[in-house]
Structure 1
Amino acid sequence: EEKKLVFGSNIQREEAMQALKNNDWVKNWYLDDTMERLYREKLFYSDVVSDYEDLVRQKDCVLGYRLHGNLMALSNGVPSIYFTYDSRTVEFAETYQIPSYDVFSTKEFVLEDYWDQGLFDKFNRAWFQTYREMALFLSENNIDHKMVDVMNADTQLERKVA
């Protein structure tokens, strides 16, 4: 339906919006007037990854449910807050220390609670450590890769900080 909302004719757009409104999961959970307006006016879609990368670089912060969208933001130095909704997404956010909000919690989401560089410093450390461990694992097991040895003083990664 989202593709129709972005690329469809006026009739297709209305049909797509009606299909969303008729979906029990959507209508009972989050499709209020504000969300409908966002869907109609701000929805972005592209099959080209670099289009999304160009878009996300222009943002101050990304809030989202989608793993790849959040990672694209973080990899471009844009703070991202992951909205978690199941054990898989919680575990991923915890592993990489990505600031996250459990959408099923009783706690109200307040953006200012997450707008703290200390939260993103934790992510930056976790990412660096995981990258280093993966490069070391591949090298120790004689698996060809293009990862940089971050412990070697002669090579420096371009450091992007969320």
Structure 2
Amino acid sequence: MVQLPLGGKALIVSPAGQVSGRDSVQWYRQSQNEIETNYFNIGDMVVYDSTLKLLDLTEVRGTAIENTPEAEIEAYRNYDFFLVRASNFIHSNMEWHQALELFDAVQLPIFAIGVGAQASSFGRYQLDDRNLRFWKTVAERSTLIGVRGTFTAEVLAANGIKNVEVVGCPSLFRARKRDLQIRPGAVERVAFSIRREAGADYATSVERYREEQREMLLRFARRFALRVTTHGEVEEKAFVYRNAERMQQARKLFLQQRWWTEDTAAEMERLYGDLFFFLKVSEYDDFIRTQDLAVGYRVHGVLPALANGVPGILVTYDARCAELADTHAIPAIATSAVAEIDPDRLIAETSYDVFNKLFAPRYDKMRFVLEQNGLPHRMG
């Protein structure tokens, strides 16, 4: 076990936002135009915020892993450890720039908690040389790597990395309530998280994927007081910020993609008139606690809801979603079943019994991995 001082100073590899106070993450200070026109994944911000909420740190600092100045490297030596933020980092397309050279220059422990292998479907694969050396370096400088699920553990094992434990995602434990239990009640208000953008890697037919998602969304909207949550797509942000020119461009794209159709455009326009988007993670916590159910295609639309005690149902459109749903027994439906969904029946037949039973053991496993690594934490 690596022993660290209580309240350690952490160097964050690939941060996702800026930290205020002890553990509150918000997106970087940018102009409104930059925010509107650049895609960035809000889920990365949520998991970063959640990780900081589990740890007991006195200072965090983002690391430069490309052309790092010598003065910066010297400053890093005053910190206690590197922390690789939880994300879909285990794959051969990941670009770590000069991270390995930085690790060689700064001989500190390296920890990764909640990382996952990125793939559209389950299957083992060999990491390329540089990505393999990255994860072997992490393995050598930590007691345990905490991974998202069994699939990720198998990928690392297939690449010779065995000191791995399944911990799931930090976002599910962000409230630090070991006794959390989901007790569903009457449903009136629903938050529906959308993922309009998808490539061929994630859907046999992207057009069909969008069509089924839209129809599921509209069925829920016709039945409940529904709020669509958007998590980074540029066209949706045009509606959030009411940019008339960009909204018109977005409408044309939606029709081309058949995300909107002539028959559904009026309904979709109404829903898009009140999209929920956030740049501070705390804003999502505040919002989701006003809802009776979170359902949809975004992991970080559903997991933070569950962490706040709000029932959630995840659509598993890729291996990442399916892996997390399996790890935590999150109620989930596959995209292949979306076309047949009746909202009332889905809600009535969804049980949280297994989720509730597994929550405390999963919570304990996350805390165990933190403690085995000697990481200061606040998971009581």
Q: What band does the TM-score fall into relative to the shorter chain?
A: 0.7 to 0.9
Q: Deviations over 1:57-80 (max 9, x none)?
A: 111101111111101111111101
Q: Deviations over 1:127-158 (max 9, x none)?
A: 2211111212322443322211xxxxxxxxxx
Q: Name the counterpart of 1:73.
A: 305
Question: Any gaps of 5 or more consecutive residues in structure 2?
Answer: 1-234
Of the candidates 38, 45, 52, which is equivalent to residue 284 of structure 2?
A: 52
Please state how far the C-alpha of 1:86 moved relative to its aligned partner: 1.5
Q: Name the counterpart of 2:272.
A: 40
Of the candidates 82, 104, 127, which is equivalent to residue 359 of structure 2?
A: 127
Secondary structure at the counterpart of residue 144 of structure 1: coil
The 5-angstrom pairing of residues 4-153 of structure 1 reads 4-23=238-257, 27=258, 30-32=259-261, 33=264, 36-105=268-337, 108-116=340-348, 119-148=351-380
Q: Deviations over 1:91-136 (max 9, x none)?
A: 2111111111111237611233443597223212222211111212
CA radius of gyration, larger in: 2
TM-score, structure 1 normalization: 0.76
Instruction: Work out which structure has the larger RCO, using CA pairs closer than 8 Å and 6 or more positions apart in sequence.
Output: 2
Contact 1:82–1:99 under 8 Å retained in 2: yes
CA RMSD of superposed structures (Å): 2.3
Contact 1:83–1:103 under 8 Å retained in 2: yes
Structure 1 runs, 4 residues or longer, greater than 4 Å off: none
The share of aligned pairs that are identical, in percent, is 31
Contact 2:240–2:274 under 8 Å retained in 1: no
Question: Any gaps of 5 or more consecutive residues in structure 1?
Answer: 149-162
Q: For the residues of structure 2 that align with 1:63 and 1:14, how far apart are their CA atoms?
A: 28
Contact 2:240–2:276 under 8 Å retained in 1: yes
Q: For the residues of structure 1 that align with 2:326 and 2:270, how far apart are their CA atoms?
A: 29
Q: Deviations over 1:12-62 (max 9, x none)?
A: 212222122223xxx1xx534166235422321121212222111111101
Which residue identity is paired with 1:91?
A: E
